[in-house]
Structure 1
Amino acid sequence: MSGRPREFDDTAVIEAAMDVFWSNGYEGSSAQELCERTGLGRGSLYHAFGSKHKLYELALRRYQELGIEAQARILNGPGSAKERLRALMQWGVDGDLGPSGGRGCMALFAALDRAGKDPMVADISRVYVTRLEQVLCHVFALGQRHGELAAERSPLASARAFISSYYGLRVLGQSMPDRAFLEDVMEGTLARL
């Protein structure tokens, strides 16, 4: 005999939990708030997902899945390589300063806050950076092939340098939420390409 069928959509619950974790971080997210935002009772939530940690893992994976899809769309979109790199950085600035209340990038802040003490977060973060690196490497290879971007370094080295600047920009979006400042950082990064 099987149990009662679930009366909720796993993806909707994971996305609601993602919103809680994104706003509050792992430590700041209470079981009570997770229950309120997902619409599930504590027993149902833990029966379905096992633990707060497992729900956090699923929420972080979902956030990263959505994030890498959005970033890949920008990087694989129209325009020159430099225009696409600029569009990605502008997307980050707009997101950090937009209506999300200055929450920044959940993936980046999960890595900063938890990767050193949580191997699961460290693994998820490595996969995410590797996926972004692959898309960026392709953009740099095309840009170098077409003479748009400097070719002194390999596309991989260039992609890694860009990731460093891009993540630095995202951190600055939280500590210096000034559009003109962030756009100066962005233009300086692009000028070095």
Structure 2
Amino acid sequence: MARPKQFDPEIAVDRAMEVFWRKGYAATTPQDLVDALGIGKGSLYNAFGSKRALFELALRRYRDSQALALVEMLEESGPVRERLREVLRFLAEMDLGDPDRRGCMAVNTAAELAGADEAAAVLVRRMFDRTEGAFRALIEEGQRAGEIAPERDPVALGSLLLTTVVGMRLMARVAEGPDRLARVIDATIDSL
């Protein structure tokens, strides 16, 4: 007779996400995961198959929680420029306020694994595509409302905004304070 699982797999994935987000894939050891999840190595492998499989689940969990929250913030109501400014400020404050300076798990994964792990690259690319699409939609909304010049290319501006966010999230990992990120936010809004 099979023994019942002694842990909640959903909580385990959340905890694994935190470890991978803080340390990265390569630096996370199976022992780190066992310690964070509070289970034995046998249970870890029986439940998730491998460190790599658990990492993919953790990256998907990040997508479902953190990345989608950004898209939802962009879709709120209000003036487009102010909404964008608030989203950028929120990201900067969140990253600077994180004592571990984890940044964005998707950005970190792209930097660490994109050339070596196609499945991870595809997941990150999809997250970036969704965020870029939300930025493009925001620009188009701003054009319809007369806040952004209609001759500006919304696809190009969406790409620019995604790249700005990626750069900000990396910069926040080493920033000594908010000044540089505040300048980036102001320049980004002014460029629209």
TM-score range with shorter-chain normalisation? over 0.9
Is 1:143 paired with 2:142? yes
Deviation readout 1:141-193 (Å, 9 max, x if unpaired): 11011111122233222111111112111111123232012101110111001
Range moving further from structure 2, 128-137 or 4-13:
4-13
Cα distance in 1, alignment partners of residues 148 and 5 from structure 2: 52
Letter in 2 for 1:148: E
Structure 2 gaps, min length 5: none
Range moving further from structure 2, 39-48 or 65-74:
65-74
The runs of at least 4 aligned residues of structure 1 exceeding 6 Å deviation read none
Match of 2:19 in 1: 20
Structure 1 gaps, min length 5: none
Tell me by how many angstroms 1:138 deviates.
1.4
The normalised TM-score by structure 1 is 0.94
Cα distance in 2, alignment partners of residues 121 and 18 from structure 1: 14
Letter in 2 for 1:73: E
Tell me by how many angstroms 1:87 deviates.
1.5
Match of 1:68 in 2: 67
Cα distance in 1, alignment partners of residues 82 and 47 from structure 2: 44
Cα distance in 2, alignment partners of residues 168 and 139 from structure 1: 20
Tell me by how many angstroms 1:110 deviates.
0.6
- Alignment root-mean-square deviation, CA: 1.4
The answer to whether the 8 A contact 2:132-2:161 is kept is no
The normalised TM-score by structure 2 is 0.94
Letter in 2 for 1:23: R
Matched-pair identity in %? 38
Match of 1:157 in 2: 156
Match of 1:121 in 2: 120
Aligned residues: 192
